Amino acid sequence: MNKEMYGKEAELKVESHYDYVKVSLNGALVYGKTNEVKEQLADIAQPDKEYILDLSWLQSIDSVGFGVIINFAKKAGSKNIAVIVKDALIRELFSISKLHLLFPVEHTLEGAVKALQEKKQTKLQLEEY
């Protein structure tokens, strides 16, 4: 398999805001390109904070990438996470993998902030996934 076809390794940017932490990912969150991001997410995960995972610039994701997100959710608490996904294919993959049932998946930062503020209910708990 050509690793270059999936784009560059995912990069993580963390911005602390008053009531949430925005974690932006860009590049490819795929097999062979997730170790560093997984470690960085583990380092910042705290169950008493709320997080917005901004995947607006993510080029590709596979099951390993979804596993990284699940591991982060286990440490941070899935009720404390909202996700921004703009790409139609990545949104579809969230739906196929049923992750949209665990986290509010929004198109915009404003939508993600609102979902956290309203404690938007999801259809599944992490333990049920």
pLDDT in tens, 67-124: 999 999 999 987 789 999 999 999 999 999 988 888 899 999 999 999 998 876 666 5
What SS3 state is found at 101? helix
Q: State the fold for domain 3-128.
A: Transcription Regulator spoIIAA (3.30.750)
Banded model confidence at residue 128, pLDDT cuts 50, 70, 90: low
Location of structure tokens 């995960």: 45
> 97 near 66, Cβ under 8 Å?
yes
Strands 105-106 and 21-29: unpaired
Quick check: 122 and 104 in contact, CB under 8 A?
Answer: yes
Rounded CA gap, 32 and 58, in Å? 16
- Tell me how far apart the alpha carbons of residues 45 and 73 are, in angstroms, rounded to a whole number: 8
